[in-house]
């Protein structure tokens, strides 16, 4: 009889074990089914996104090409602006040099005039001259020559022309 009870207990335990294994396997199967469904949804979403990403990349490539073309068209304009800036810098420098030279020349001119006036006062007065010679004496050729500062401007202009050509 012990044998029979033991076999019956073993059979009941085996049935209980099988029942728990069946429930565990069913739960695992449901989890795998849900995982499969989720993976299919992800795959579909990735496919949709990949087509959209491809479109965005194509648009970005087109935009980049367009921008490159426009930048190539702007290069000559920017080069011209650069050249104009360099020319203006040169003109400004030349003008500054000419104005400095003129300013220095004008500063020296009163000193030279003062010295020549002092030299005339120191020199003995010539003997009485006829009425025609009594007029104030002008430097020789002063009616024909322009003032000194005009000469400096002409020199500066000719130097500039030679420099530019």
Q: What pLDDT, in 10s, does the model give residues 99-110?
A: 888 888 877 766
In a domain, 79, yes or no: yes
In a domain, 80, yes or no: yes
pLDDT tens digit sequence for 124-145? 545 444 444 444 444 444 445 5
- Residue range of the domain that includes 46: 2-114+149-158
Q: Quick check: 88 and 142 in contact, CB under 8 A? A: no
Q: What is the mean pLDDT of the chain?
A: 80
Given a cut of 60, whether residue 146 has pLDDT beyond it is: no
Question: What integer is the mean pLDDT of 51-75?
Answer: 92
In a domain, 119, yes or no: no
Give the gyration radius of the chain's Cα atoms. Answer: 54
Q: How many domains does the chain have?
A: 1
In a domain, 59, yes or no: yes
What the block records as the tokens of 39 is 């993976």
In a domain, 27, yes or no: yes
CA dist 78 and 114 (Å) reads 54
In a domain, 129, yes or no: no
CA dist 82 and 60 (Å) reads 31
Region of 128 (left: φ > 0; alpha: ψ -120 to 50; beta: rest) is beta
């Amino acid at each position: 009889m012990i044998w029979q009870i033991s076999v019956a207990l073993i059979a009941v335990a085996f049935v209980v074990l099988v029942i728990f294994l069946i429930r565990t396997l069913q739960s695992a199967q449901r989890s795998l089914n849900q995982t499969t469904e989720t993976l299919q949804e992800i795959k579909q979403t990735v496919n949709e996104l990949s087509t959209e990403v491809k479109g965005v990349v194509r648009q970005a490539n087109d935009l980049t090409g367009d921008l490159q073309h426009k930048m190539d068209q702007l290069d000559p304009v920017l080069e011209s602006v650069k050249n104009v800036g360099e020319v203006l810098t040169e003109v400004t420098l030349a003008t500054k040099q000419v104005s400095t030279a003129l300013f220095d020349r004008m500063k020296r001119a009163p000193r030279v005039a003062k010295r020549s006036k002092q030299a005339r006062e120191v020199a003995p007065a010539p003997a009485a001259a006829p009425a025609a010679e009594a007029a104030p004496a002008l430097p020789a050729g002063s009616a024909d020559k322009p003032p000194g500062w005009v000469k400096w401007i002409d020199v500066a202009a000719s130097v500039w022309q030679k420099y530019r050509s």
